[in-house]
Chains A and B, each alone.
Chain A
Amino acid sequence: MTTALKPTLARCLWTTPLFAVIAALAVVIVRNVLGMDPVVQMSTLLTFAYIFGSIGFIVGIGGFDYWWKWIIGSDIDPNDHSQHGAYSWRDYFRFNTDHKVIGVQYLVFVFTMFLVGGMFAMIFRSELARQGSEQVLTNQQYNSALSQHGAIMIFVFMVPVFAGIGNYVIPLMIGAADMAFPRVNAISFWMLPIAGFIFLSSFVFGSFDAGWTAYPTLQDQSPFGQTLFQIGVIIAGSSSIATAVNFLVTIVAMRAPGMTLFRMPLLVWSNLATSALVVAATPFVAGAMFMAMFDREMGTNFFTTAGNGSALAYQHIFWFYSHPAVYIMVLPGFGIISEVISTHARKPIFGYRAVAFSSAGIAVLGFSVWAHHMFASGLESWLRVPIMISTLLIAVPTGIKIFSWLGTVWDGVVRMTTANLFALGFIVAFTVGGLSGVMLAVVPFDVSITNSYFVVAHFHYVLFGGSMLTIYAGLYHWYPKVTGRMYNEKLGRWHFWLTFAAMNATFFPMHYQGLEGMPRRVSDYAAEFAWSNTMISIASFVLGASTLIMFYNFIHSARHGKPAGNNPWGGLTLEWMLSSPPPVFNFPVTPRVIGGPYRFGEEGAKHAIIPEVEPAEVEKVGA
């Protein structure tokens, strides 16, 4: 067989266009048969070509090969591991079923998108650096850059990056050989490059420019790129649903013997809560996107005023996903922080059960607060107070977590490694974001401050000061495990202090700007904001540049770093019991969990053992 027929990226080069062209032809034929005018409607054609082209890509990469053979009754071997594991760098560029490879694929891809999304932020910050409009970008381009920044950062960076970290770490933490559905896992990764490509390719068709929320009726006026935004979100959403199903089954059914619910590391707990959220909430964004897409491409009337539709209904459905999405983007981060702080402060996590239950509490409460994004939108007035109360309530489980991290650090033997610096920095920055969130939950305050830079400051403190710092903490924490080498600690500290300082310099003044009434999403501003905006732009460039230190550090250390050994941090959870990087099939023998995951300070305490003897004798040891 030639390379073009085997499941590789090379096969995608012909399957993708093939599926796209067939779909386009089918559209033309159907329109012809139904007597629609015009027969060749470019936007409809492209919509179908994009959707089926995406399916063609998954077919090309080999996502359905196994099931196809299975369903037609060909001979297949369920224990065929030929697609599992990486033996050379090429194996990272193919359909790979190894969760560790997929984790690395995720992280490399989403951080590429992170750079792209950050680039868009730099571009529109340079427009905002000086007062006056259309200096660097036209207003249209400004809107596009802004929308691309939001869409890329949220849908192909912040949501999947935790799937990447979880993919690598969770099967190791629970003592499993792999995820429950390795092929589904690979498919959900390969959907992401498609979504990223679709977002970026929308520039060919005028990009999308209605912000990441894309409210109708604003988005009705956007060029065809807006439809591509909707397709991209649907694909990224499918990817995250598939991953969540995978995580749920893996965590529920594939834990090592002895790992009861309350012996699970907290990252596993928070991923369980997050996955439940994704399964229940993400379909709603798909629903909203489908309806909006039908409105644009089929002339339906879901959200148009002319056809008795309701633009407010879009906001209800959209935020019913997108508020839980905020927790989808930060709950796994909480888990990472629990791991990092406990390990680096050499203390058991303070109030383990409280932290675990607060994750579940946030997941449940997260569904009852969506309308706080809509206080100023002409919402039914009776909804305001209940939603305000539930929004204020959600600060309680979050506060529980903050205090138990502080309780963990208190009196601990704290090691100021880069990972721990990021974790401690997260506590500070996230508290700021959380407090401004409580302010925004109060209806009168929200109504007067809505759509101002105060909101921008709030969600950047939550997403950058919150999620992003947890991601950095996690990356530095598990980098030795993934590569087998230590990163450069000095460069790591430079990265932390520059990022932390620049982050605060960028986003803190935005609180003041918002309170003074500077509206968001506008390319020009009043003269009184000139000084602060110039400062913010400079700080944001420093913030962007500081990221490069990490990339240099990680790429350089992967080759030249000191060997890390199995357990550089002295962690107790299962992944630290394996070699760095772990063997292709993880555990040579199924481990047995014999205690809690954070038993620091107990003499000779162990979380788990990897028996090297016969299972019969293991029974006695485990008992």
Chain B
Amino acid sequence: MSATTPDQHAAVPAPQHQPYRTGLDTNVMGLVIFLISELALFGAFFMYYAYMRTIRAVPYPGTFDIPAEATSINTLILVLSSFTCEFALLWLVRRNHWGVFGWLFVTFALGAVFLGLQVHEYMIIGFTPQDTAVGSIFYALTGLHGLHVFVGIVLLALAMVRAARNKWSPEKHTGLLAISIYWHFVDIVWVILFTVVYCLPGVVG
């Protein structure tokens, strides 16, 4: 592709960066709006779950014993990882890039453990996605969330690469901030999911 040579660009005046009216960081704003649409995607699945469980009153396939211990520990792990993710930003303020790396790694590890425990739960839960509609939506909800955790830990791993090369600074770290906001989002969705899918069946029956 030789259409755009550097010379042609030299002829064009440098673009004017105009002041933003709102003073908001456009990147963070874009991320938050994107996460609202992610929430709507989860909402579609939650609505289906609520519809099937209340209006249609479809029971879980077989007996669904809430794996209370395992899943509660898992919830704890994910909530904890939200804090460790925030610690990375605290260490960034101290300009300690290996500290940032370390906390990102802890967060990454907690996320990976969470995923591992989720897969383990799939193996012992006793029903498959093919067992009735509620089995399908159980796997779809937890699977969609698991996919988000997976994307999250990939992002954390990439953030670690940048941290190891000392590319984050207290002045410029929008990417790290974005990843941490995303990670908190994944955490919040899990808390909602845990409440609705794991805890409410015990109450509602």
Contact = CB atoms under 8 A, between A and B. Distances in A.
A380 B136 contact: no
A72 B15 CA distance: 27
B205 interface: no
A300 B38 contact: no
Interface string A273-303: 0000001111110111011001100111110
A317 B48 CA distance: 8
A313 B30 contact: no
Contacts of B18: 175-177, 254, 256-257, 590
Contacts of B6: 82
B4 A82 contact: yes
A70 interface: yes
Task: Please report whether the interface of chain A is mostly helix, strand, loop or mixed according to DSSP.
Answer: loop
Nearest to B33: A245
Contacts of A73: 161-162, 165, 167
B40 A290 contact: no
B130 interface: yes
Contacts of A346: none
A286 B36 contact: no
B58 interface: yes
A368 to B, nearest CB: 15
Task: Please report whether the interface of chain B is mostly helix, strand, loop or mixed according to DSSP.
Answer: helix
Interface stretch (A348-356, A570-578, A580-588): A580-588
B130 A298 contact: yes
A255 B130 contact: no
B140 A290 contact: yes
Q: Range of interface residues on chain A?
A: 35 or more
B18 to A, nearest CB: 4
Contacts of A178: 15
Given A249-B29, A302-B48, A177 B16 contact: yes
B44 interface: yes
Nearest to A254: B20
Contacts of A246: 30
Given A90-B1, A254-B20, A585-B13, A287 B44 contact: yes
Interface in A330-363: none
A88 B3 contact: yes
B4 A91 contact: yes
Contacts of A390: none
B51 interface: yes
Interface string A61-99: 000000000111100000101100101101100100000
B106 to A, nearest CB: 20
Interface stretch (A304-312, A410-418, A453-461, A545-553): A304-312
A315 B137 CA distance: 16
Interface in B37-73: 37-38, 40-41, 43-45, 47-48, 51-52, 55-56, 58
Interface string B17-31: 111111010100110
Given A73-B167, A175-B18, A302-B136, A317 B44 contact: yes
A310 B162 contact: no
Contact of A308 (B21, B34, B134, B167): B134
Interface of B: 1, 3-4, 6, 8-9, 12-22, 24, 26, 29-30, 33-34, 36-38, 40-41, 43-45, 47-48, 51-52, 55-56, 58, 129-137, 139-140, 158-159, 161-162, 165, 167, 175
